[in-house]
Chains A and B, each alone.
Chain A
């Protein structure tokens, strides 16, 4: 699977309260959540993000609450992938469980500038900055997590294991 888009740059500790503020958590509708994605840290994000774009951030991305609304909002906003130095652990789980691709790659985070055109390949973990011509390689997922991703998230994975497969989420 591949994706291509423009990079949005953020720093350390982007928390779930700025990814999707709690005042919007009285809904679970992805499209509505997406409308407020990143609003408290970058009010121009929603107006300019396009399908396939990539978020590039530094340490501890997604720290704070367990709200799955955070990766859901990012995914529904059209973002194809989040690249960060490290992720907060609940965000990491949630992203895998709902099928938002994430990659830990400190070298890419260091080099990629806002607005660069980025191409990512989830299967190989390769990241290419088309603007500068540089390439990077992210850590691959452990096999167990790759299985969840291949199943298209935790729910279909559990269904398959319980012998209830076929009712795709």
Chain B
């Protein structure tokens, strides 16, 4: 039977010659990830199982990134539990504050994932690594606990939507605009229980950072995973970051897709998701007058160096508007350091923005930038649900770093060419 790229990776990890959509399989895992919110729950469950230790101390990755540096006593207790578990089981990839970054930016950067891998994480945005040709998906804490014990997880083999990309994006348009546009097109449950498989000549026009942004938000269309074909850019990225040798899978030419969506990248415009759903998209031109109180640039979606470079290009020599709190979050320590060396941090501070240590912080309404009643933020994050960044009567508008930076300067939602 012809298979999609995702199905091939799953079949290989289940030790099967082929799989079909709907089939329940048990697959071997190359990576099991957890954070300071989900790992404590998983650790408690793991301890109930009664195995002596984890299946492979090199394949379990623990990242305290959500409420860290510890925002309160309860968060500190959760991190302490995680740290002592990492000590007891000699977990090689536990990332302490100072080395820590937002997990989905950190894992590709540290070379912990490679093409052809099968990975799970107790965090919904684990689907990010599909950008590098891996199968990766978010699960819950109990799945993580069972996976730490057995090195396997159960999956229902997904069908797929094929997204064919053509053309090249215009200036100030990137991966974020593409994925927001796609979610607007198919809806927040448009790819429920399915893979989003990207293909077509437009793929090469997207940088790896752009692809990471796109795959990151596959979950916002309800997808199990989002996945990109492996090309030279992928191989170069994997090599540069010291990832293990990739295994490259291609979808069969006659693989069955449940739906095909074509997107012309050259026709995309800067796009915004209005409250309170990522699918509630408009182009910036259609957005009208949306005044903002806060601009957040960062997160696992758009906190990478290329995102910061775009924001700095816009903020250079400009000031953020009066009354707009602008907060920049480099996603990892390495990105932070790189931004410092390139002079980007100086540009942000001179423009009147605050720069934070890597953390999930305001992305999930944790700390470092919570909204009050009636306040509005434009954010490069990935969710704009009710109460996501603070008060239930606050609003989040999702956009690219270019739009978030330009909006910080204008005090309302605009794209850079409107400045």
Contact = CB atoms under 8 A, between A and B. Distances in A.
B51 A164 contact: yes
Nearest to B149: A158
B386 A162 contact: no
B50 A66 contact: no
Interface in A9-24: 13, 15, 17-18, 21-23
Contacts of B48: 155, 159, 167, 169
A86 B193 CA distance: 10
Interface string B126-143: 100000000000111111
Interface in A45-72: 59-60, 63-69
Interface stretch (A73-81, A91-99, A111-119, A125-133): A91-99
Contact of B45 (A21, A142, A169): A169
Q: What bracket does the count of chain B residues touching chain A fall in?
A: 35 or more
A66 B140 contact: yes
Contacts of B224: 89
B143 A63 contact: no
A25 interface: yes
B277 interface: yes
Of B24, B38, B44, most A-chain CB atoms within 10 Å: B38
A153 interface: yes
Contacts of A59: 189
A36 to B, nearest CB: 11
B419 interface: no
Contacts of B336: none
A88 B192 contact: yes
B169 interface: no
Contacts of B192: 60, 86, 88-89
Contacts of B38: 66-68
A94 B154 contact: no
A89 B193 contact: yes
Given A13-B189, A94-B140, A159-B49, A21 B74 contact: no
B272 interface: no
A82 B69 CA distance: 36
Contact of A66 (B124, B188, B388): B124
A25 B143 CA distance: 18
A41 to B, nearest CB: 7
A118 to B, nearest CB: 24
Contacts of B145: 154-155
B43 to A, nearest CB: 10
B277 A97 contact: no
Contacts of B24: 142, 144-145
B149 A93 contact: no
Nearest to B26: A144
A66 B385 CA distance: 15
Contacts of A63: 188-189, 222
A124 interface: no
Given A17-B387, A22-B37, 8 more contacts: A17-B365, A18-B386, A23-B366, A27-B74, A28-B41, A40-B386, A66-B139, A169-B48
Shortest beta-carbon contacts, A-B, top 9: A94-B140, A26-B74, A97-B142, A60-B189, A68-B140, A22-B364, A17-B385, A164-B50, A66-B124
27 contacts: A13-B188, A17-B364, A17-B365, A18-B386, A21-B365, A21-B387, A26-B72, A26-B74, A26-B78, A27-B74, A28-B78, A40-B387, A60-B222, A64-B124, A66-B123, A66-B139, A67-B38, A68-B122, A90-B139, A94-B143, A97-B143, A154-B143, A155-B146, A158-B150, A159-B48, A161-B150, A167-B50
